[in-house]
Amino acid sequence: MDSAIHLFALAMEPESKALARGLRRRDPDLLSALIAQYEYRLFRYLLYLTGSEEAARDMFQETWLRVLARGHQYDGVSRFDSWLFSIARHLVIDSSRRRKMDSLDELLDTNQGGSAQEPQSSEGASPLAEYENTELAARISSILARLPSVYREVLLLRFQEDLSLKEIAGIIKTPLATVKSRLYRGLSAARELMEEVQP
C-alpha cells in the first residue's frame, strides 16, 4: 500500500513541479486552466465557509489573485488543492477580521447559539436547497448548516474534498490531534442531528 502511494507520488511529482514553475512564471494560461479545474471545488468550499454566494464569489476571485501574486510560494511538493484551500481560508479569515471579528468561528457562528447560516444565494433562497438532488442530501445540507463551523469545515474537507488528516491540519493550521478530535466530535454531532431529523 505504502509503495503504491510512493509510486503515485513519484508519478505526480513532475506535474506538481511543472505547476510550481508555471506559478512562479505567473503563466496566465496555466492559471486559467487551474481556475477552470478548481472552480467548483473552491467555490463550494468558500460557499460553506462564508455562507454567502456573493462573498464566496468575491473570495473566489481574491483567492486566484493571491495565487497569482504568491505563486512562487507553492513548493511543488504538497498538493496544490491543499495550498489553494489554505489561501482561500486565510482570505476569509482576514476578511472576517476586517469586519472586527476574531476568528472564522465568529464569522460563521453569528447567531442561534453557534449555528452557522446555511449558504444563501443572492436571491435569498438557499443554493443548496435549490439544487439538492435527493432527500438525504437535503437533510445533510440542513445538518451541515446547523453544525458548529469548526466541525463542519473538517467534515467537508475530509469527506467532501477527500483530503488527508495531515493536509487538513496544514490547511487550517491546527495540530493533527485537534483535527482528529474535531472530526470525531463533528461526526458524532452530525449523527445526533441526523437522528433528530430522521423522517
Partner 1 sequence: MRTHDAGNHPHERARQLIDRQLIEGIEMEERRWLEDHLGACETCAARWASTEAALTALKSISIPVPHGLAASTSLRVRENAVRLSNKRARNIALIAGCAISWAAGVASAPLVWRVCEWAGTSLSLPRIVWETGFFCWWLVPAAAAGLIIFWVNARAEREEMNGTLWTGSRPNGW
Where along the sequence are the contacts to partner 1 (CB under 8 A)? 26, 28, 31-32, 35-36, 39-40, 43-44, 47, 50, 52-55, 57-58, 60-61, 64-65, 68-69, 95, 99, 119, 121, 127-128, 130-134, 136-137, 139-141, 144, 155-156, 158-160, 165, 180, 183-184, 187-188, 190-191, 194
Q: Which three cell numbers stand for residue 91?
A: 482570505
Nearer to partner 1, 14 or 122 (CB): 122
Q: How far is the CB of 129 from partner 1 (least distance, A)?
A: 10
Which DSSP helix (H) or strand (E) runs through 17?
helix 2-25
Quick count: other Cβ atoms within 10 Å of Cβ 75?
10
Q: Which residue is listed with cell 460563521?
A: 108
Q: How far is the CB of 160 from partner 1 (least distance, A)?
A: 6
Q: How far is the CB of 80 from partner 1 (least distance, A)?
A: 16
Nearer to partner 1, 82 or 183 (CB): 183
- Going by the DSSP 8-state scheme, the letter that residue 117 receives in this structure is P
Nearer to partner 1, 14 or 178 (CB): 178
Q: CA dihedral in degrees (65, 67, 71, 77; nearest 10)?
A: -170
Q: How far is the CB of 175 from partner 1 (least distance, A)?
A: 14
Give SS3 for 109: coil
CB-based contact 198:191 (threshold 8 Å): no
**What whole-number distance in Å separates Cα of residue 126 and Cα of residue 146?**
14
Nearer to partner 1, 15 or 94 (CB): 94
Nearer to partner 1, 87 or 190 (CB): 190
Amino acid residing at 89: R
